[in-house]
Amino acid sequence: MRILLVLCLLFAFAFQMNAQPLEEIEYILRFGFIKGGKATLTAEREKLNKNQVIHYRMRGRTTGLVDKFFEVNDVYESWVDPRTFLPVKSVRNVKEKKYRFYDEITYDQKHDSIFSLKSGRIKVPNNVNDLVSVFFYIRQNKYFEDMLAGKTIEIPIYHGDELFVMHLQYLGIETIDTKIGKKECYVVTPQVPKGQLLKGSDSLKIYITKDQFRLPIFAEFELVLGSLKCELNAYKINGISQMTQEQ
């Protein structure tokens, strides 16, 4: 779930707010010096139950040597109301080695409740999000500017039969080498409890370019057994690359 948090945040800041006919983003995942995975996400406008929505679909999978030892092929989807950027439906389809998990959730934002295929109807806080939609919601409601001003963002999330509050915090500015040159970046972190996988609550760092594009270009996880890096590999709108040296 911690890797998913970072990937969703990366995708949310790369996408245009109102979604083009088809946007596609791809990140390469590296475990130390080993290329071990790929994460892709698409966004496009659709109709769901005759209502206009934005459909976000994220797929994360292992590749190469890592895939032989620990096969992962996870898909997360969220259908979002373009007026509020709150979810109306979400799907979680997890395939990790022999483990399987599938659930569909519909959201009744007017009555602060959800319906899960796994758990039935559940009462939830106002403006509840799923893991994919939450970062688009933060961006739409200008929470990012509040975060840069020093405020810690807190948003309720329902994920995997669990309700929790996500905290997002701004750490400062760094200049890093990227695929499109040296970039001055904002550094932010989703705050999560210290556990067996991560070294600490600030071990997830996301780098967002400090320019008008605010392109999420790099992320790093400090794990107990080493580091995992996510590097932006491609960003396309209707098949046309949006990655240039000018960004």
**In the predicted model, what is the mean pLDDT of residues 37-57?**
89
- For residue 175, what pLDDT is reported? 95
Residue 149 lies in a domain: yes
Q: What pLDDT does residue 193 have?
A: 46
Section 100-124 average pLDDT: 93
Share above pLDDT 90 across residues of the chain, in percent, rounded to a whole number: 21
pLDDT at residue 203, rounded to an integer: 64
Is residue 246 one of the residues assigned to a domain?
A: no
Largest CA distance in the chain: 49
Higher pLDDT, 78 or 166: 78
CATH number of the CATH domain containing 218? 2.40.360
Under the banding of pLDDT at 50, 70 and 90, the label for residue 21 is low
Total length of the chain: 247
Average model confidence (pLDDT) across the chain: 80
| More confident site: 51 or 9 | 51
Percentage of the residues of the chain whose pLDDT score is greater than 70:
80
Q: SS3 for 119?
A: coil
Confidence of residue 103 (pLDDT cuts 50, 70, 90): very high
Q: Is residue 192 a part of any domain in this protein?
A: yes
Alpha helices in the chain (DSSP H): 2-14, 64-69, 133-140, 143-148
pLDDT of 6 higher than 60 = no
Question: Three-state DSSP class for 60?
Answer: strand
The residue ranking higher by pLDDT, 190 or 78, is: 78
Find the mean pLDDT for residues 110-122.
93
Judge whether 27 lies within some domain: yes
**Span 63-79, mean pLDDT?**
85
Q: How far apart are CA 144 and CA 188, in angstroms?
A: 10
Domain that holds residue 35: 2-241
Instruction: Say whether pLDDT at 197 is over 70.
Output: no
pLDDT confidence bin for 43, thresholds 50/70/90: confident
16-33: average pLDDT: 71
Mean pLDDT throughout 142-148? Answer: 81
Q: How many CA atoms lie within 13 A of 39 on its CB side?
A: 22
* pLDDT grade for 173, boundaries at 50, 70 and 90: very high
pLDDT value at residue 89: 97
- With respect to residue 247, please indicate whether it lies within any of the assigned structural domains: no
Total number of domains in the chain: 1
In a domain, 128, yes or no: yes
How high is the pLDDT of residue 200? 45
- Confidence label for 184 from pLDDT (cuts 50, 70 and 90): very high
Whether residue 178 lies inside any domain: the answer is yes
Distance from C-alpha of 64 to C-alpha of 58, rounded to nearest angstrom: 20
Whether residue 168 lies inside any domain: the answer is: yes
